[in-house]
Amino acid sequence: MKAIVVGCGRLGAELAYRLFQAGHEVSVVDIDEKAFATLPSDFHGKFNEGDALNRDVLRRAGIENAESLAAVTNSDVLNGVVGHVALTVYHVPNVVVRNYDPRYRPILEAYGLQMVSAASWGAQRMEEMMYHADIRAVFSAGNGEVEVYEVAIPENCAGKKLGEIVNEEECAPVAVTRAGRAMLPDLKMVLQAGDILHVSATLEGAELLRAHIRGMHGKEA
C-alpha cells in the first residue's frame, strides 16, 4: 500500500513506523523538518517538508497515486481540509483524520470523513473502567458510540432466560460462550452461571444491563 501520513508528531511517527514495518510504502509530510527526527533511525520512508495545504507538497508526497492517507496533526481544521481534498480532489480510496479537540468533531463529521477522536474515545474507556468492572468492552466501533461488551453471567442469573436479562432496545445479544463453545444467542436460551455473554450496546445500554443484573441480586449497581 502507498500511504501518506500528514503530521509527524508522536502519533504520526508511530503510525508511519508501524506502516513501514508492515511493508508499506510510506510518505510523511510535516511543515517542520525537525519533526522527522521523531521517527526511528531505521525508518526508510519518504520525508516531505512543507505545508500540507500546498498542492505541490501533496503531489511531492505522492498523493496522486496514494491508496491511503492519514491526517494526524494537532490542527483539526488542517486535518479536515487535507482529508477533504485527498478524498474529493485526488480520490484517495481510504482517508482517515485525527480529531484532536472534541469541540471540533462536528466540523470533521460534516466532511463525512473517517475519524479517530483519541480524547473522546480515551475518556469513555476510562469512564467504563472506573465503574464497569463486571462488564468490559472488547470491541469498539467508530469512536466508541457502539461497542461489544463481555459479561460473565453470575450465580444470581443462572436459570434465567436471556430475554429476561437483555432488553433488545438497549442491547443486542451477539454470542453466548459456554464451556469454551460459542453459540448464536436465542432470547429463550436458559443461562448458566459462568456463561460469557457478548452484547452490542451503547455505554448507556451497557450500564442499564449492568444495573439490571445487579438488581436481580437485590443490590444497588
CB 166 within 8 A of CB 195: no
Alpha carbon distance 64, 35 (integer Å): 24
CATH of 2-119, one of 3.90.1150.10, 3.40.50.970, 3.40.50.180, 3.40.50.720: 3.40.50.720
In this predicted structure, what is the pLDDT of residue 95?
96
CATH tag, 132-216: 3.30.70.1450
Q: What ranges do the domains of the chain cover? A: 2-119, 132-216
The whole model's pTM is what?
0.66
In this predicted structure, what is the pLDDT of residue 30?
97
Instruction: Decide whether 2-119 matches 132-216 in CATH topology.
Output: no
CB 96 within 8 A of CB 112: no
Alpha carbon distance 51, 49 (integer Å): 7
In this predicted structure, what is the pLDDT of residue 221?
39
Tens of each residue's pLDDT in the chain, 221 residues: 999 999 999 999 999 999 999 999 999 999 999 999 999 999 999 999 999 999 999 999 999 999 999 999 999 999 999 999 999 999 999 999 999 998 888 888 888 888 888 787 777 667 766 655 567 777 877 767 888 988 888 888 899 999 988 887 788 999 999 988 999 988 999 999 989 999 999 888 888 888 888 777 554 33
